[in-house]
Amino acid sequence: MVPVTVILVVSIVLSASSTVRQKIRETWMFVLLNTFPSRFKKVNFRKLSNEKNKIYLLGTTHRHFGSDGYSLRDISAVIKNLRPDILLVESRPEQLQQGNLGDGPPEMLFAHLFARSRDIPVKGMDWWNMEMSPGTTTEKRDDKMVENVLRAVSGKEKVLILTGFTHVIRFIPRLVDAGYERVGFGKNRKEELFEKGSGRLVFPEKVEYYLRKRIQHDKDLLQDIEDPEWEKALTNVIESFESVLATVEEGRKEEGKNG
């Protein structure tokens, strides 16, 4: 008979191993992103389906503005070439309903406005609150995000989800539990969807407006923050969005020069 203490130790090791495997994978993804971004974007592009829906998951990096290896043009190409029945972005639904389209990472705003310009419906599927540590995810958060996904995909045959790449691997088992199956998604098909064509990047209309709105929203929120961890995080986010706004404004100047 195996002693109870041995069983407990084995259980703890197995549990830790799962966490360690997740950390190893995330570390490897960061290395891949910084060395072979074209490979990274394909690895983090996944497909699932059931009898009613096809779900495409595209993992993003939150740093696509000014990036060449995995850029905003890659994201817009996938939206244009796939033409989903709905785009789900890593923004909180209640913030979108209040007009804060810049909620979430900055590429979500770009994708949101680009999809709307092509008459593709957009919904938010993120969930978090300020009781959490900033910049983190939890089991509860990923559970809630997938619950939002499952509500939003009803009646939609082809769905595209944009979310930070660390969420992709967490979403898949949850979607499998909900009745979806992993589907083979070949390199050639991915390359077709990432095909950019000969056009240049054009920022969607009103992106500056919503960037400024997000910046002001966070500045207002910062006035009532007492938690130093959140104060630092919000300050960094504001600075990040101000940098993105400057990139867009510079891009507009280039658009003007090129006619």
The pLDDT tens digits of the residues spanning 140-176 come to: 999 999 999 999 999 999 999 999 999 999 999 999 9
Residue 15 has what pLDDT? 58
Phi, psi of 227 (to 5 degrees): -75, 120
pLDDT above 50 (res 124): yes
Q: What is the DSSP string of 119-148?
A: T--EEE-----TTSPTT---HHHHHHHHHH
| pLDDT tens profile 85-98 | 999 999 999 999 99
Tokens standing for residue 13: 């090791």
Confidence of residue 2 (pLDDT cuts 50, 70, 90): very low
**Residues in Cβ contact with 44 at an 8 Å cutoff, skipping those fewer than 6 apart:** 29, 57, 58, 59, 165, 168
Element holding 61 (H helix, E strand): none
pLDDT above 90 (res 117): yes
pTM attached to this predicted model: 0.88
Direct distance between the N- and C-terminal alpha carbons of the chain, in angstroms, rounded to an integer: 79
Give the residue, 33 or 87, on which the prediction is more confident.
Answer: 87
**Residues in Cβ contact with 132 at an 8 Å cutoff, skipping those fewer than 6 apart:** 138, 141
Q: Are strands 158-164 and 54-60 parallel, antiparallel or unpaired?
A: parallel
Q: Are strands 86-89 and 122-124 parallel, antiparallel or unpaired?
A: parallel
Domain spans, the chain: 35-201
* Cα 170 from Cα 12, distance rounded (Å): 21
Among 3.40.50, 3.30.70, 3.90.190, 3.30.1380, what is the CATH number of 35-201? 3.90.190
